[in-house]
Amino acid sequence: MCGIIGVVSGIDFKVSFLLERLKRLEYRGYDSYGYSDSRKTVKSLGAIKAEGLSLTRIGIAHTRWSTHGGVTRANAHPHESCNGEVIIAHNGIIENYWELKTILERQGHKFRSETDSEVVAHYFEEKIKQGKGVKKAISDFLKEVSGTFAILMMIKGEDKIYAIKRDSPLVLGICEGKKAGAKQIQKHILASDIYAFSDITDKAVFFENDEFAVVEAGAYEFYDAKGSLIKKKVQSFEWNQEEGKKKDYKHFMIKEIEEEPLVVSRMLLSLDHEQKDQFKKLVSLVKKSRKIIFAACGTSYHASLLGAFYLHTTGIEAQTLIASEFKHYANVDKDTLVIAISQSGETMDVIDALKYAQEKKATIVSLVNVPYSTIQRMSALSLNILAGQEVAVASTKAFVNQSVLLLRLAQEFGYKVNLSNLGEKIKGIFSQKDDIKRIAKQVSSSRDAYVLGRGQTYPVAREIALKVKEITYMHAEGMMGGELKHGTIALIDKGTPVISLIGCNDEDMVSNTKEVEARGAEIITITNNASQCRGSAKNTVFIDTDNDGKFGILACVAGQLLAYYVAEALGREIDKPRNLAKSVTVK
């Protein structure tokens, strides 16, 4: 879940350029950061400061999300070998690091950190000491080391970066650079994802598993695990840059929520134009398949729950499974269509689920937000949700676009819904911001919150509760209204906030709401029929739509705003909540 950057150039660049590239990956982890330009290694705790006027032609940098070892300077990357000749930055987990560390310590190596990553630097120092060339040592490493890794490595005295990949994402950006006489001086940027360099180039080479590369200023070569030279294709990509800037917004999260009308309209338009053929193929695959199983995590899982509800309503057999438990519960065969949903396209648990699906000969489709991501490349068919860059860790507009794409898919099978006015309906929720802020102020004084839903609003209840947990640090539980009396109602105290999602004629949800209200709960109602909850009208957000599938999505937008304003009232670090990272690339 960390972010790594490497830059090699034929002309000098400032260290600040290296750190600016790293800053664009800070959403992947922000416990600590560091860089090395081969002459010195600098490490710091906290947010990245993109400063430094010194010049270099090579450097690697790292922003950390802690796994092994606490948040300390010693545990920050890059890590150096004993003699300082080998310098590495690593994203992933070395699973057999303890065995390797024990062997290396017997050989006289001294470790400075608590991390699993440091063994990489000592491993290569030892191989080089034994007289092995670096490329041969990398082949040995790929045979002997278990785990996931994207590794950037510099050897002092060499103007090149060695890059190694297994399961953790890694990409090479090709920048044209400046002309020196008649010669074009290229700058190469290695990174965890394309966003690190997508503002300066649209050309990239994507690593596959157990490949490594040797990258210099004017050249690069790729090799397979055995060290044989392989040819790689330079691919052009498109990525929206404007949406990655905060502008005048206080936080990226509120900016990204307010982009939802734009990105929804853009995606729906693309399904009728640029992605029309891909969408038709998806519809055809659904028709041909015996059953549909979604694989997703977190927010994407909640979107997939909505998708399963929509498809089930049309008579299609569909279910969804948390990706980390996929192989334990999925009954998959060649007639199964597995639909993976991931904002980043690099979620490790989803990748593992897809590997299992491949073993069982299932057909794989993916809905992702990042082009050329690992999950997209594993898929027979992929659609882009076109939400644009999300910088805030808490996903908002990606959830909306994932859910809308699945609703549009269900529409092809007879689900009655008008999607043409969805963007305007979202704006209608924005017009209630003052009321939502007032309600949020009340909620912010509580320790716990509960969100109740049924049918299409059950996944939404879970997603709203997740947003509250992620950015406010309050305990929040999203649940089926029908499960309330099976234990959770015992937790309701006087004044406990309960957010109730009530569709048009959902008498069961009205009953559940009255049950908690009778026990002293403070009711907050999100509904498209305010007359059903007159007693709680002062704490009501009105959703102007029928029960046509849009209600759940629009209710979630209201919940996103509520969570945001609660966090703001509490003074939380909204875009970078503690202990979290945007892209979950470890198990």
Give catalytic residues, as residue numbers.
2, 582
Q: Residue ranges of the alpha helices (H) in 444-540?
A: 457-472, 507-517
Q: Specify the DSSP element, H or E, that contains 363.
A: strand 363-368
In 3D, which of 505, 513, 459, 457 has the Cα closest to residue 485?
A: 513
In whole angstroms, give the CA distance from residue 383 to residue 385. Answer: 6
What is the gyration radius of the CA atoms in the chain, in angstroms? 25
CB 397 within 8 A of CB 410: no
Integer angstrom CA distances of residue 130 from 81, 96, 133, 137? 15, 22, 9, 10
User: What is the DSSP code (8-state) at residue 78?
Assistant: P
In 3D, which of 197, 192, 135, 196 has the Cα closest to residue 162?
A: 135
Type of residue numbered 245: K
Alpha carbons within 13 angstroms on the beta-carbon side of residue 455 total: 17
Phi, psi of 248 (to 5 degrees): -95, 10
Length of the chain: 587
Say which residues have a Cβ less than 8 Å from residue 139's Cβ, sequence separation at least 6: 225, 226, 227
